[in-house]
Amino acid sequence: MEDKIKRHEFLKSLGLKGGALLALYCTGQSLSSCSADNTVVPANVDLSVDLSNASYSSLSNSGSYVVISNVVIANIGNGNYVAASITCPHENKNAIKYQSGSFYCPEHGASFSTNGTCTNGVTGKTLKIYTVTKNGNVLTIK
């Protein structure tokens, strides 16, 4: 609220009034709402991935990943898998990838450990991580 008052007073000091002020406020509003992909990170998912299915054969390689229903599923080696939301918590861009043992976002360079913690200070927010269980060739992601 205090920022808006300061902003309003600043704009008034520039000689802007009425319609011009309203246009600036509306333009500012629409620009900020365009900055995100507006994806809602699903709090809960319920996915089954059959690793013997040819569509997911690349997941058998350590360091590889696939994206299914906005969930990034990565093979982190030694038969272990981790799944994260594709939506970066920094500015809600749908850009999360898996590379060299970390999730990362190419938009502004945020890097996240496999527990979702940002490791390079780009954001204080946590990447959504889902629980993965493996039973035979089937991964269940919740």
Q: Which residues bind ligand FES (CB under 6 A)?
A: 88, 90-91, 93, 95, 105, 107-110, 122
Smallest distance, ligand FES to C-beta of residue 19, A: 34
d(Cα 82, Cα 114) in Å, to the nearest integer?
Answer: 7
> Which CA distances in Å does 141 have to 44, 61, 64, 129?
9, 18, 17, 10
For ligand FES, give the closer residue by CB, 95 or 132. 95
For ligand FES, give the closer residue by CB, 77 or 106. 106
Smallest distance, ligand FES to C-beta of residue 1, A: 27
Smallest distance, ligand FES to C-beta of residue 80, A: 25
Spell out a b/e string for 48-87, using b for 16 or more CB atoms within 10 Å of the CB, else e: ebeeeeeebeebeeeeebbebeebbbbbbeeeebbbbbbb
For ligand FES, give the closer residue by CB, 82 or 95. 95
